[in-house]
Structure 1
Amino acid sequence: MGTVAAGAAVWPLVDQMNPSADVQAASQMRVDVSGVVEGTQLTILFLGKPVFISRRTPEQIAEAGAVDVDDLVDPVSRNPNGDFDAPATDLNRTLAPYEGDNTGEWLVQIGVCTHLGCVPMGNGAGDFNGWFCPCHGSHYDAAGRIRRGPAPENLHIPVAAFVDESTILLG
């Protein structure tokens, strides 16, 4: 009985440390991707950072899929939506719109260079048909994997999921 009373007395103090409803709501965002056509990228601002949402072409997917993971600077996928420590194959870095999809068409990543935090230039830039950070010369491929330059890690991937065929939930 004393344990229950102590728990009831302490709970309000502990509960006040939880984030409020408005803070929790701000940590998620729904993004309509119905207008993103193959070969284009939508850039949005989420939690103060740019997020690149790319709908890749079959050519981009094939090129990124042909890369040997052993040749990568950072061979870890770093994808919180799957096995974070899985090899950085192209498919392990993509976002599937439905269970069992393995086309690799959608790529969602935080658009911040992992070297010093600059914003890399658009889809198709650099020497590997991906992104290029002009600040210090980091080159990322079409899967957002660092291929050359001072960046130590692949572009980071946010927590994300398709909630329907045209909406991605970030956070």
Structure 2
Amino acid sequence: MAHTDVTNVPDFTADRPDSTKNPNSRSRDSNIQRKMFSYAAMFAGAVVATTGTKYALKSFVMPLAPTEKTLAEGTTEVNLSSIPEGKNLLVKWRNKPLFVKHRTAEEISRERSVPMSSLRYPERDEDRVQRDEWLICLGVCTHLGCVPIADSGDYPGGFYCPCHGSHFDASGRLRRGPGAANLEVPNYKFVGDNTVIIG
């Protein structure tokens, strides 16, 4: 059977879009009209996908976020009036030791005068404290996580980790030893003159 034997060829002219009925028109002239349905379908699909993603996040991911109770337990309030000048208070914050040091004017002056070139991890004292007289940092050595001893070591008013010999100054900056960084300063804010909230 040859193609010439087919005499009743179906005509789909009635089903074709008006923009494609003229055989002399160029394809690019009717490109937008022909693809409008595809664009609309893609847009609708994107809306459905976005809505589905939002629902999935809300239903499956958000329950994994910490509860309000957990977030509340993540903060610690410290009464600063009980810490004499020159002394250090060790408190527990998120199961980690935290140093709250009431620095003397001499300690502040000494740490401000330290040249940056002498520090392994240069950090200005002013950038590590919100109030000059209060240093708040994690009591976790940056070498292997031991707890340093306050007011000990080769740097007056500083911290010393006896495990492997890391020395930190009164600004919590590493001065000697195998520590990998300065003592970490957590987020905190002062509430009034005598209270600080950590976390």
Classify the TM-score, shorter chain.
0.7 to 0.9
Q: 2:101 aligns with which of 54, 59, 68?
A: 54
Code of the aligned partner of 1:141: D
- Give the superposition deviation at 1:8: 7.3
Gaps of 5+ in 2: 1-43
Equivalent pair of 1:30/1:168 in contact (CA under 8 Å): yes
Code of the aligned partner of 1:126: G
Q: Distance in 2 between matches of 1:37 and 1:28?
A: 23
User: Larger % of helix: which?
Assistant: 2
2:199 is the alignment partner of 1:164:
no
Q: Distance in 2 between matches of 1:6 and 1:134?
A: 55
Q: What do the CA deviations read for 1:80-125 (whole angstroms, capped 9, x no partner)?
A: xxxxxxxx111111122xxxxxxx11100000111111111112x1
Code of the aligned partner of 2:197: L
User: Larger % of strand: which?
Assistant: 1
Match of 2:130 in 1: 95
The higher radius of gyration belongs to 2
Gaps of 5+ in 1: 76-87, 97-103
Q: Distance in 1 between matches of 2:181 and 2:75?
A: 25
Q: 2:63 aligns with which of 12, 16, 39?
A: 16
Equivalent pair of 1:139/1:148 in contact (CA under 8 Å): yes
- Give the superposition deviation at 1:30: 1.2
Equivalent pair of 1:56/1:106 in contact (CA under 8 Å): yes
SS of structure 2 residue aligned to 1:119? coil
Q: Distance in 2 between matches of 1:50 and 1:40?
A: 16
Give the TM-score of the pair, scaled to structure 2: 0.70
Give the TM-score of the pair, scaled to structure 1: 0.81
Code of the aligned partner of 1:164: G
Q: What do the CA deviations read for 1:103-158 (whole angstroms, capped 9, x no partner)?
A: x11100000111111111112x1111111111111111111111111112111111
SS of structure 2 residue aligned to 1:34? helix
Q: How many positions carry a matched residue from both structures?
A: 151
SS of structure 2 residue aligned to 1:16? helix
Pick 1 or 2: higher relative contact order, CA cutoff 8 A, min separation 6: 1
- Give the superposition deviation at 1:17: 2.2
SS of structure 2 residue aligned to 1:39? coil
- Give the superposition deviation at 1:161: 1.0
2:73 is the alignment partner of 1:26:
yes
Q: Distance in 2 between matches of 1:56 and 1:132?
A: 17
Match of 1:155 in 2: 183
